[in-house]
Amino acid sequence: MGMTKAGCVIGLAAASLLILTGPDESDGGFERRYVGARSLATAGVMCALRDDAWSFYYNPAHSAQIGEVGSFYIPSVLGLQEVKAEGISFRNQAMGFDFGGAAHTFGFELYRENVFTFNLSRPVYDFLFIGMNINLNQLYIKDYGTDASVSADAGINMLLSDNYSVAFSVTNLNSAAMTQFRDRLPQTFTAAAAYNSDGFGIGVEYFKEIGFPSAIRIAAEYSPAGFVTVRAGSASGTNSFNAGFSFRFLDFLVDYGASFHQVLGITHSFGLTFVLWRANGG
């Protein structure tokens, strides 16, 4: 059933316990939070860096040069034991199209956000990829009911060379809204550039959410050996530093990411990915 404005206010007030750091780090109201352990380690710099099981959430145009199933789990957000986030994703390739799907959830007993995503992308040329996400966004507030809406995201990924790329993504193209008062879900724009090689990657992003200050994000990844990668990132206006690592064993990838906030402590994220196949034996 549709929720009253009082219900929304109560739910968002509960979620605002997590928003003590300002809008650039808010985790309530379907904000573009960290989804996947790698994204937490890179401060969300995922629009142009080489992709993983959750990349299409940040840029729908990421091509599936690999088939995989991924998951992540955040046991507590900003040190609040009651508030958790978790999700599962997959992606594959068929008939010239890359496709993927994901489900992730955030919240606690009184307030919960669920997002279900379907992704479809394809190459226009061998250097240019386009893609789109369709998201079902569901909001639950205890004793006040649920509401849902459908939003659409789009992205472009352009390979300038074997090592350099630029990318763009936009969320909530259709201005999806919730509640009887039509509160609009966040709309964001990201422009990114990245350098990727076999052992090193660096990405820089300009991130803007309508109604909030813009941010510059930067992250780097380094693989001293083929089975291990270390990474770090930061975003302007967040008062935090992010870092993490991953280990590859056979067809399994184990990820860890953390965000270190100057005042509110550490948020940990754990990820596990199972690789189904790799293009060209990569």
What confidence tens digit (pLDDT) does each residue in 69-123 have?
999 999 998 778 889 999 999 999 888 889 999 999 999 999 999 999 999 999 9
Amino acid at 57: Y
Instruction: Share the mean pLDDT of the chain.
Output: 87
Confidence of residue 64 (pLDDT cuts 50, 70, 90): low
| Cβ atoms within 10 Å of 145's Cβ, excluding its own | 13
Do the Cβ atoms of 79 and 101 come closer than 8 Å? no
pLDDT digits (tens, 9 = 90+) for 179-192: 777 788 999 999 99
Residue 37 bridge partners (DSSP): none
pLDDT of 27 higher than 90:
no
Which residue is it, tokens 């840029």?
59
Give the max Cα distance, the chain: 55
Whether the per-residue pLDDT at 19 is higher than 80: the answer is: no
Instruction: Please answer whether residues 28 and 12 qualify as being in contact, where contact means their C-beta atoms are separated by less than 8 angstroms.
Output: yes
Domain with residue 13: its CATH number is 2.40.160.40
Contact assessment for residue 88 and residue 102, using Cβ atoms and an 8 Å cutoff: yes
Determine how many CB atoms are found less than 10 A away from the CB of residue 189: 14
Q: For residue 4, what pLDDT is reported?
A: 46
Q: Is pLDDT at 21 greater than 50 in this prediction?
A: no
For tokens 């606690």, the residue is 108
Give me the pLDDT at residue 274, please: 96
pTM, two decimals, is 0.87
Work out how many domains the chain is built from and give that number: 1
CA of residue 19 relative to chain centroid, distance: 18
Question: Under 8 Å CB-to-CB from 146, ≥6 apart: which residues?
Answer: 1, 3, 138, 139, 140
- d(CA 147, CA 139) in angstroms, rounded, equals 5
| Domain assignment of residue 204, given as a range | 5-281
202-251: pLDDT as tens digits: 999 999 999 999 999 999 999 998 899 999 999 998 888 999 999 999 99
Give the percent of the chain with pLDDT over 90: 67
